Amino acid sequence: MKIMTIKYLCFSLLAIAVLGACSNDDGMAGMQQATCGDGIMNGSETGVDCGGMYCSPCETMGMNPDFSGTYSQADHMGRPGINTVLGYDMEGQPSVKDAQNVTIPSEMAAAFRAGFEARLEQYYDVYANKLGLDPNDINYEPNILGLDATTLTTVLAADVLEVAPDAPTTYFDPGTDLDNDGRILVPDGDEVGLTGRRLQDDVIDISLILLFGGQEGDRFSGQDLDMDGQADLPRLTSDGVALTAENITDTFPYAGAPE
């Protein structure tokens, strides 16, 4: 109701302004001012139908919100999925996530890398136990990016999302066996990615591949080693689900209408 009142007031002011402008034979200015009552922010307006070169200042129309005060950081997010998987402490409590939410990115690697690496190894121990194997024998191995556990967790602990201004957006695609060595292993020249995150990207599967896929990306992917029709290794490189949000569009605002 308040907005409607403001807009009506603006329109009235506009009408006076336009009439005034016309009586001064200033037709161009009158045309510009015509946008001050159309209900959208356009022209040089800094708000809907206010501000800018031609409309009444927003604040004189009662649209002068109070933005004063200090705002202190409550939550943080960069890369998706990583804190979901590695943000727990060794007791399974998400205390690391709490701490990371109020840590600046330049200090994150020093604060959280070691915990992330310990947690990553703990996952391998969990599955060694589930498979009845010695946890000392089942450890993280360098992934498809060739990163060892320390390097990987150094990268992941600094929780930022990279987006390239001048390259297509690909979260990560290891490509194919371009160098014909029988392996997808990166880098072989056709891998692309780390250039942003689209709404439809399967970031969980990529995270799982980087954490549990080894250098070919498929180290623990439910393989049936003895061909008896039963998986002998756990499926840890995909959660098995694909995009279900069908409302995504290719025009702004991209995110689909609510359900």
**Binding to another protein in span 174-213, by CB under 8 A:** 187, 191-200, 202-204, 208
The answer to whether residue 127 forms part of the interface with another protein (CB under 8 A) is yes
SS3 (DSSP) at 221: strand
Minimum distance, C-beta of residue 54 to another protein, in the bound complex (Å): 12
Figure out which of the listed residues 24, 150, 169, 223 binds another protein, where binding follows CB under 8 A.
169
The answer to whether residue 164 forms part of the interface with another protein (CB under 8 A) is yes
- C-beta of 15 vs 255, nearer to another protein: 255
Task: Please state, as a whole number, how many other Cβ atoms lie within 10 Å of the Cβ of residue 142.
Answer: 14
Residue 237 CA to residue 222 CA, distance in Å, equals 9
**Count of residues engaged in binding another protein, rule: CB under 8 A:** 106
Q: Which residues does 175 contact at the CB level (< 8 Å), separation at least 6?
A: 184, 186, 188, 189, 190, 191, 192
Name which of 197, 209, 244 is nearest 79 in CA terms. Answer: 197
Minimum distance, C-beta of residue 241 to another protein, in the bound complex (Å): 4
Tell me the angle at which helices 203-212 and 108-130 cross, rounded to the nearest 10 degrees: 80
Minimum distance, C-beta of residue 133 to another protein, in the bound complex (Å): 11
- C-beta of 2 vs 225, nearer to another protein: 2
Residues 140-159 that bind another protein (CB under 8 A): 145, 155, 158-159
45 contacts 10 by C-beta, under 8 angstroms: no
The answer to whether residue 229 forms part of the interface with another protein (CB under 8 A) is no
- C-beta of 20 vs 57, nearer to another protein: 57
List the structure tokens of 190.
């056709």
Residues 29-48 that bind another protein (CB under 8 A): 40-44, 46-48
- C-beta of 162 vs 179, nearer to another protein: 162
Residues 57-96 that bind another protein (CB under 8 A): 65-78, 80-81, 83-85, 87-88, 91-95
Residues 97-100: contacts with CB under 8 Å, at least 24 apart: 100/76, 100/159
199 contacts 250 by C-beta, under 8 angstroms: no
